Amino acid sequence: MLLIINRNAIDSDINIIKDKIINLGLEIYENKGFNYHIIGVVGDKNNIDSVEFNKYKAVEKVVLIQEPYMKANRLFHPENTEIKVNDKIIGSKKINIIAGPCSVESEEQVVSIAKSVKKSGASFLRGGAFKPRSSPYSFQGLGIEGLKLLKYAGKLTGLPIVSELTSIKFLDDFVDNVDVIQVGARNMQNFELLKELGKTKTPILLKRGLSSTIEDLLMSAEYILSEGNENVILCERGIRTFEDYTRNTLDLSAIPIIKKLSHLPIIVDPSHGTGLWWLVEPMALAAIAAGADGLMIEVHNNPDEAMSDGGQSMLPEKFQHLMNNLKPISNAVDKEI
């Protein structure tokens, strides 16, 4: 960490900072030029809270040299992390596709979709039981009942299941029933939830928040990792920008950046990332071309209601089309699917 000292800072104010650094057991490297003055701070990263230094009168600016996350940092963990879920591995040469309905609605629905996506080549089944909806008047999910239906469909098809946890109230139910616990974009900085998840051993799928930088995402992963759970899968799902044609702006550059900064696997959710079903396939292909370890795709099966052409879910036949086209792209980047 570098402290850029204020041009007009007086010695007594500068000494307060130096005392603080030494009291924290850290070392000082000082550098003073004609029109600048810098204090470098060196020591155990754990002991330095850069925000603390921001507030001193004599400090103009704090410059971080090292990333603020450690356990998520590739620097200290050069090998890719591979996460085992039953017989699947996320983060290896094999691309994993997590597919399923937005919400679990009935046994018939979830079983039918599970069978269909498995046939098309999906390796995980997703389905929402607790739905975080911006309106209290919207359908909030079937709850625990939905979780059981999802588990049943997973068992029937042999697909591990992924579902979103929205409150620590249901933590035990999720640990008992779900193979991968999803943390949604809106809860990415629900730190109390992250800490509790860090105490479990269940793999966590952590989605990037709508206004979160890549560093924010890695810091949230650090919350889980630092409590002892090393099974964290990151997920890019779009950020909020001024462009309103799409629901969010899918930031695919996050894939190679996370691959550089961290050893954790990164997948992409083009369904939420765009909000339009016809954008899911091109963005899915692009995500794999950019190096993603997998995809999360919403699929439903209400052809009799002609649903889906406006929403973000794909019909099973469109999903099959996507899976067919993913194969040559995966091979082109030396992956399997």
Between CA 152 and CA 19 the distance in angstroms is 61
The verdict on 129 binding a copy of itself (CB under 8 A) reads no
Q: Which is nearer to a copy of itself, 158 or 228 (CB)?
A: 228
Residue from 79, 87, 134, 201 in contact with a copy of itself (CB under 8 A): 134
Q: Which is nearer to a copy of itself, 156 or 286 (CB)?
A: 286
Judged on CB neighbours under 10 Å (0-12, 13-18, 19+), 228 is exposed
Helices 191-198 + 214-226 axis angle, to 10: 40
The verdict on 175 binding a copy of itself (CB under 8 A) reads no
The verdict on 38 binding a copy of itself (CB under 8 A) reads yes
Contact range with a copy of itself by CB under 8 A, out of 35-43, 108-116, 147-155, 172-180: 35-43
Residue from 11, 12, 25, 78 in contact with a copy of itself (CB under 8 A): 12
The verdict on 264 binding a copy of itself (CB under 8 A) reads no
Closest CA to 126 of 154, 161, 159: 161
Residue from 93, 108, 176, 211 in contact with a copy of itself (CB under 8 A): 211
Residue from 147, 149, 204, 252 in contact with a copy of itself (CB under 8 A): 252
Which tokens is 165 given?
Answer: 């946890």
The verdict on 324 binding a copy of itself (CB under 8 A) reads no
Positions 284 through 323 that interact with a copy of itself (CB under 8 A)? 285-291, 305-311, 313
Closest CA to 204 of 156, 267, 154, 159: 267
Which tokens is 281 given?
Answer: 């396939």
The verdict on 11 binding a copy of itself (CB under 8 A) reads no
Closest CA to 280 of 308, 241, 240: 308
Q: What count of Cα atoms within 13 Å lies in the side-chain half-sphere of residue 70?
A: 7
Contact range with a copy of itself by CB under 8 A, out of 52-60, 93-101, 152-160, 316-324: 52-60
Contact 131, 140 (CB under 8 A): yes
Residue from 86, 202, 249, 320 in contact with a copy of itself (CB under 8 A): 249
Between CA 183 and CA 279 the distance in angstroms is 24
Nearest approach in angstroms of CB 93 to a copy of itself is 16
Contact track, a copy of itself, 141-170, x by CB under 8 A: -------------------------xxxx-
Contact 316, 117 (CB under 8 A): yes
Q: Distance from CA of residue 273 to its chain's centroid? A: 12
DSSP code at position 248: S
Q: Which is nearer to a copy of itself, 3 or 90 (CB)?
A: 3
Positions 81 through 110 that interact with a copy of itself (CB under 8 A)? none
Nearest approach in angstroms of CB 334 to a copy of itself is 9
Between CA 199 and CA 321 the distance in angstroms is 40
